Amino acid sequence: MTKKSTAPKNKKTFVPSDKIIQNYANVLVNFALNDGKGVGPDQVVYAIVPDWAKPMYGALQTAILKAGAHPMMRYLPMGYEKDFFDIANDKQITFFPSEWTKALVDTIDHRIVILPLESPHGLEGVSPTKILARARSAQKFREWLNDKEAAGKYTWTLAFWGTEEYAKEAGMTLEEYWEQIINACYLSDPDPIESWKKTFVELERVRLTLQNMPIKRLHMTAEGTDLWITLGEKRVWKAGSGRNIPSYEMFVSPDKRYTEGHVSFNEPLFYNGVRIENIRLTFKNGKVTEANADTNEHILRTMIAQPNADYIGEFSMTDSRLSRITKPMCNTLFDENMGGKFGNSHLAVGMSYKDTYDGDPATLKPEDWEALAAPSNPSTARESLSSNRGYFFVTIYLRAALTAILPPGINIPAASAPISNRKSVSSTLPRYSRNIRLPLVTAPVTPSISTMPSLPLLFQWNWNAYTGR
């Protein structure tokens, strides 16, 4: 039988102070949910807490009650995940309680999930076919939640509880690991929510800068990487909605048809307890045509073979001057937002995000998704990995002259200006467009591994975005 719950009992281990835990819960309940406004009276909040995060259970329940909302608390004993797959037959693996689940979706206004919901190696040895079949069985649940969110009637947020196993994967002590979490989430600040509000103001400034740049294509180059991405029509850059804590990224869902080239990654992916190393992907006419890895390549290919999992669903970037995460954390939630010295960027293959399209996402029909060239099948697997490989460059090709559309106070150096801080602007500009070449500089860091079933398959590398300051 599988080792049971890893929640601390008598073993002495690091646990953050009650004040830090209370601050964490307050940030999630009174800021992250409801798009940065917090929950309201009589709203229903569904909170999922694994047993190794037991101190968060009481803190979340208290914060929800004090906000006048109604807590629906779910406490998960951990350590039984592999037993399920070892014992269950095919019918049990794909069982989906549709009436119960639909009633849950109809009842809740918000959802909080405290990660991780598995250990880094919790499902080693389990067939990826079984894992993916289980994920596909819950497709309607994701569709119902996505539709309710698009209608403006539901919000969610994710947070991470530091464990010994994840700290070990990241090469840190548990206390060092928690120092990253506390710093990243402003949990030791006098008023963490006010700190987050100030950060979101700056995120919005940067987002508007990007939104006002009529970007047509992005060209990413580095050792083992030469990739073209086309944004497409009616795209909207998004940032700082509170869906993840922490969150510093800007993201958009590009046109799936025109991704061309290849990309490689030197940091491993943990996919449901399986380590996949040195991944290389090749794209042609938008689709992944080759997927290679040095270890567990068959699992990577099984993931990519799912419907729409062979298209890019997201392009994202995090500026190092905004992020407070300085080290790889071996979990997607933090690694996709890592700043470090140079910031980062990541790609997601799989389902796009409805809210990155101009207009009311609730009105998007399947044919609209197709017209927007957006992968939309919610059954697509979503996992993450990171890379730090040599020098990266991004060239941004615009649809129109840049100087006419930037908001006041944003200045781009002239083509003849000396290169400063490894930023430069190309002097050879296509007609009615201007391209900006942004060096992506990386340094040796501890390889990071990340796992998060509720997010897209992400390919991440360090960079330093040019945001106007």
Query: How does pLDDT run across 400-422, given as a tens digit for each residue?
Result: 543 333 333 433 333 222 222 22
The span from the CA of 9 to the CA of 6, in Å, is 9
For the record, the structure tokens of 104 come out as 């849950």
Question: How large is the C-alpha radius of gyration of the chain?
Answer: 22
The span from the CA of 329 to the CA of 244, in Å, is 15
Q: What are phi and psi of 204, to 5 degrees?
A: -65, -35
Q: Is 134 helix (H, G, I), strand (E, B) or coil?
A: helix
- The pLDDT tens digits for 163-176 are 999 999 889 999 99
Contacts of 392 (CB under 8 A, 6+ apart): 220, 221, 222, 225, 345, 439, 440, 441, 442, 461, 462, 463
Closest C-alpha among 216, 178, 231, 206 to residue 24? 178
Which residues in the chain show pLDDT less than 50?
2-10, 378-392, 401-469
SS3 percent helix, strand, coil of the chain, rounded to 5, is 30, 25, 45
Kind and range of the H or E run holding 114: strand 110-115
Domains of the chain, residue spans: 18-191, 196-462
Amino acid identity of residue 145, one-letter, is: L
pLDDT at position 18 = 98
The span from the CA of 36 to the CA of 240, in Å, is 8
pLDDT at position 373 = 64
Q: What is this structure's pTM?
A: 0.81
Reported as half-sphere exposure (CB side, CA atoms, 13 A), residue 68 has a value of 5
Q: Is the peptide bond before 55 cis (omega within 30 degrees of 0)?
A: no
The span from the CA of 138 to the CA of 101, in Å, is 9
Q: In the CATH scheme, what is the code of domain 18-191?
A: 3.40.1830.10
